[in-house]
Structure 1
């Protein structure tokens, strides 16, 4: 297995488990246990905050012991975290183990981008990130669809509140497969050379210039995303009365467009430019977000999910690439963590707010706020990155 493929395989397993199953069905699981949207928001927000915490711990530890050991630690924490969520029904323990799951996920999630950029040339970078994005999206499609099918099957035999925990136990076993490519992973000389770098000096360098501007943009988008994305499955299930199998299918369908988009990203960005592609895709996604707030039947809803998700997330390989190029290679692990933290912490806060708004006002209201924040974030990105030039520091540069 090639070095790049090992990194992508680790991302496939961890992201498919977390994004494809855990993030989609945890809200439904908490609701099935009899708790309201406020508790759902608290559980999901703790997960987001803990991802940010894990990414920051990873930024520090990886500079001391290397990515292989920190990713291994992350996988172990994910394993016990998802098992804990499956076994306990008390909301306090669900929050604790959801947090453990998030901390663990923060380790590989914040490492993959750095490993990819350090093992690719500048010319190949967009293609490498796009390949990673396509594989990741396919994993989420498979996980979402299969997860919905398995929950329906389990529901015929067991009580409804037991179906999702059983699925989580299967996920715990799947996480263990990420150790296989990790054993053969080699760290580049550049990564090894930064182990003695002053962490706090790096932090000061990241919180300035273009890097800081990107973090501000990412914070705005993260806050908007947290108002609606964690509740998509809950919205489908409890506001629109769609069963678990169809929820999984719709969420999976929204990922298929990402696969198509991921394949097209290298070509679209060559024509429009990376920064212009990000701006255009984000603006075009907004009408479909509004359409989800005013559903016109399951077919139109599915199409809106498909197009919104495609347009908003098609640019993710470009955004990840752009963010890491705002700093020198010595600071890329920390930058990756700061980007994740800025998004996760604000998403956690907005998820709590969204839970309150949905429970006390309506399921639709947070969508209006998200539209406004997406517009503001896009303007911030355009003003600061329309002429962005990357810093040097990748492989073979």
Structure 2
């Protein structure tokens, strides 16, 4: 019933917001397959975990360097143009990865993929904020995140099954690089389809907006950051989370595969299963935000996720790891769309793209730091000891970040409740 209740808001969303949900559905499938299978593809080529960490780190640097230019370009040329350009770059990167086995080329094309994805991702929050009404914004952000998660589940299951099935017919080794190349082909086709949905979005170039409605073009003008301390508070906790996530999440597939010796189909199914609860949690989060406040709802779910991260990192039993992954993913990710909506509401329209770029830069920067730390630990301490230090670090950083959210923003919930209670 909850899902249908949330989906009932669909017709209340703006046309471009509805189309963007479709774009998220298709492009998100490609992104999901990349995160689940790309590191395993590199491992199948014979690269060591430290080298895989290097590839991820360089790619994160490329993505981080793209955020502010993409933000500025979206203000100048329109969000749709930047989204289309980002997808086009990602498609070219996948073609390059399909044709390359040399490490320098793989690093370059992985960075190119990150650049394209960053251009797409950095304008999502401003785009959704600009194509939604305040009373429906929490639901739109939550539904977009839920659509992405559903896509992750379907892509993880079908991607592994289809690739393994076709690979079997062609006589490929199930764990060999040719099977993973089939997944890269599937990703390419998905992004081409997503690019077609982007073409259906309204032309939002500032020059076009100015002709249609001069008042609508004004918010895109850059006026700088008015309240720098607010920006720091909105950005810093997410940076701490990204440093923690960057040393574990991109390599979680390698961790689980090596620890429990799972094959491709089982691993993809595992990651799909652990995402099931995330959908329900994300769709429930707007109701939780209305009941307790946006920040309180974020703190509740993120704080509750930390004990399950302990189980994930240190349990030797597969079924407990699966359960911990499912609950942790659900709780930790449920608060993200609500905080994104909160952040977009607490800056001016002209600052939204800058804030979104800052979030992306710090997220990518955190993953650079986390990825480099992961590679160093793997090279010096080895698999088990390295992951032990990684998990202790991520647990500490998540705890500090959640505390900062509550310390810095709890008054915002109180003020909003007071405004609602005030007579009109």
User: Does the TM-score normalized on the shorter chain lie above 0.5?
Assistant: yes
Alignment correspondent of 2:402: 378
Alignment correspondent of 2:248: 228
CA 1:380–1:130 in structure 2 vs 1: closer, same or farther (change >3 Å)? same
The CA deviation string for residues 332-377 of structure 1, in whole angstroms up to 9 with x for no partner, is 1111111011111111221121122134322332001100111111
User: Could you tell me which of 164, 167, 181 is aligned with 2:197?
Assistant: 181
* Whole-Å separation in 2 of the counterparts to 1:380 and 1:176: 41
Alignment correspondent of 2:422: none
Aligned partner of residue 123 in structure 1, secondary structure: helix
User: Could you tell me which of 166, 172, 189 is aligned with 1:158?
Assistant: 172
Q: List aligned pairs for 1:1-397, cutoff 5 A.
A: 2-18=15-31, 20-156=32-168, 157-159=171-173, 160-186=176-202, 187=204, 192-195=217-220, 197-198=221-222, 201-202=223-224, 204-205=225-226, 208-361=228-381, 362=385, 363-388=387-412
Aligned partner of residue 171 in structure 1, secondary structure: helix
- C-alpha contact 2:29 2:190 (8 A) present in aligned 1: no
Aligned residues: 385
Aligned partner of residue 27 in structure 1, secondary structure: helix
* Whole-Å separation in 2 of the counterparts to 1:24 and 1:359: 23
Larger Rg: 1 or 2?
A: 2
* Whole-Å separation in 2 of the counterparts to 1:340 and 1:261: 23
Report how far residue 93 of structure 1 moved. 0.8
CA 1:275–1:91 in structure 2 vs 1: closer, same or farther (change >3 Å)? same
- C-alpha contact 1:48 1:348 (8 A) present in aligned 2: yes
Provide structure 2 residue ranges, at least 5 long, that are not aligned to the other structure.
1-13, 417-424
Report how far residue 14 of structure 1 moved. 2.4
Report how far residue 308 of structure 1 moved. 0.5
Report how far residue 231 of structure 1 moved. 0.7
Aligned partner of residue 347 in structure 2, secondary structure: coil
Provide structure 1 residue ranges, at least 5 long, that are not aligned to the other structure.
392-397
Aligned partner of residue 242 in structure 1, secondary structure: coil
* Whole-Å separation in 2 of the counterparts to 1:177 and 1:48: 25
RMSD of aligned alpha carbons: 1.9
- C-alpha contact 1:358 1:365 (8 A) present in aligned 2: no
* Whole-Å separation in 1 of the counterparts to 2:328 and 2:216: 37
Give the TM-score of the pair, scaled to structure 1: 0.92
- C-alpha contact 1:81 1:101 (8 A) present in aligned 2: yes
* Whole-Å separation in 1 of the counterparts to 2:104 and 2:333: 33
The CA deviation string for residues 9-41 of structure 1, in whole angstroms up to 9 with x for no partner, is 2222223311x1111111111111111111111
* Whole-Å separation in 2 of the counterparts to 1:205 and 1:355: 39
* Whole-Å separation in 1 of the counterparts to 2:200 and 2:269: 35
Report how far residue 171 of structure 1 moved. 0.8
Aligned partner of residue 152 in structure 1, secondary structure: helix
* Whole-Å separation in 2 of the counterparts to 1:296 and 1:231: 18
* Whole-Å separation in 2 of the counterparts to 1:49 and 1:328: 28
Give the TM-score of the pair, scaled to structure 2: 0.86
- C-alpha contact 1:250 1:305 (8 A) present in aligned 2: no
